Amino acid sequence: MNTKFPSKGWIDIHAHILPGVDDGAHDWDEAITLLKLAYGQGIRHIIATPHFTCNQDTGLLQESCTCLDYHAKAIADGFGVSLGQEIKYFENLIEYLNQGRALTLAGSRYVLVEFEPSDSLGRMKRAVRQLIQASYFPVIAHVERYRCLFEQERVQELVEYGAYLQINSRSLNGGWMDKKARWCKKNLKKGTIHFIATDMHNSSDRSPDIQTAVSWVEHNMGVRTSDRITRTNPGFILQDRLL
């Protein structure tokens, strides 16, 4: 693994920025617009995470990512893009990962895995256990979406099982009356959240807005905490090191 750690700025580990492969960027113009927006927000490295499908050609995904990385470097030196996938958990996931038919984050042992909002904690635990036993490090995407965690307050239980947890930056933007924002802020203060990422899809309603979330964390929890969940922890993924 040779992904270069950026000398400054934030690292976005969840982004649907590859054009024309999922419900993210529609074409190259939109993908480049998202790059420019992300750079303006202070992001200096993006892991492109198209949704996994069984019939995707991972070689073509890599070619597209290489091209996008070229466009990022045309925007600024030190700005880069690497490849991963967001994978909805299924029972044969380990086999697909071992065969390279499903992709880890930036060639590391970290896997960005998602679930149905209604999935049980037991199913999530089973996925985490299988990944860890196969020497992968599970990162649970947008944990604020899962009812078993949101309603039953069992986040710490999943962390103790070995999962790393990611929230979407825009989920922090609501006030105290916003239940999702309140849940995210509470769990950030508890220390159970390891990553904030944009989950960008387009330049309108799902843009790479991360500055608002970072500002809240800096104001309420300090710059060191903000740096840890937007740069240091994501840096462990780029370096393929265990958190």
Q: What is the model's pTM?
A: 0.96
Residue of 243, 187, 241, 223 whose CA lies nearest to 10? 223
Identify whether 158 is part of a domain: yes
Q: 227: domain CATH number?
A: 3.20.20.140
Identify whether 129 is part of a domain: yes
Angle at 128 between CA 58 and CA 141, to 5 degrees: 60
Residue of 169, 7, 4, 165 whose CA lies nearest to 82? 4
Residue 23 is predicted with a pLDDT of: 95
Alpha-carbon torsion 101, 102, 106, 111, what sign?
A: negative
Higher pLDDT, 42 or 176: 42
Q: What is the pLDDT of residues 84-118, one digit of tens each?
A: 999 999 999 999 999 999 999 999 999 999 999 99
For 169, the token pair is 């930056």
Residue 121 is predicted with a pLDDT of: 94
Identify whether 197 is part of a domain: yes
3-state secondary structure of 151: coil
Residue 235 is predicted with a pLDDT of: 97
Residue 8 is predicted with a pLDDT of: 79
Q: What is the DSSP string of 89-104?
A: --TTHHHHHHTTSS--
Residue 4: band (very low, low, confident or very high) from pLDDT cuts 50, 70, 90: low
Residue 190 is predicted with a pLDDT of: 94
Residue 175: band (very low, low, confident or very high) from pLDDT cuts 50, 70, 90: confident
Identify whether 37 is part of a domain: yes
Identify whether 3 is part of a domain: no
Res. 34: pLDDT tops 70: yes
Across 179-183, average pLDDT: 93
Residue of 206, 197, 202 whose CA lies nearest to 34? 202
Question: CA-CA distance, 89 to 216, in Å (whole number)?
Answer: 31
Q: What is the pLDDT of residues 209-226, one digit of tens each?
A: 999 999 999 999 999 999
Identify whether 63 is part of a domain: yes
Across 134-153, average pLDDT: 92
Residue 3 is predicted with a pLDDT of: 65
3-state secondary structure of 45: strand
Number of independent structural domains in the chain: 1
Identify whether 56 is part of a domain: yes
Question: CA-CA distance, 32 to 35, in Å (whole number)?
Answer: 5
Angle at 53 between CA 30 and CA 48, to 5 degrees: 40
Report how far Cα 163 is from the mean position of its chain's Cα atoms: 13
| Domain membership of residue 48 as a residue range | 10-238
Q: What is the mean pLDDT of the chain?
A: 94
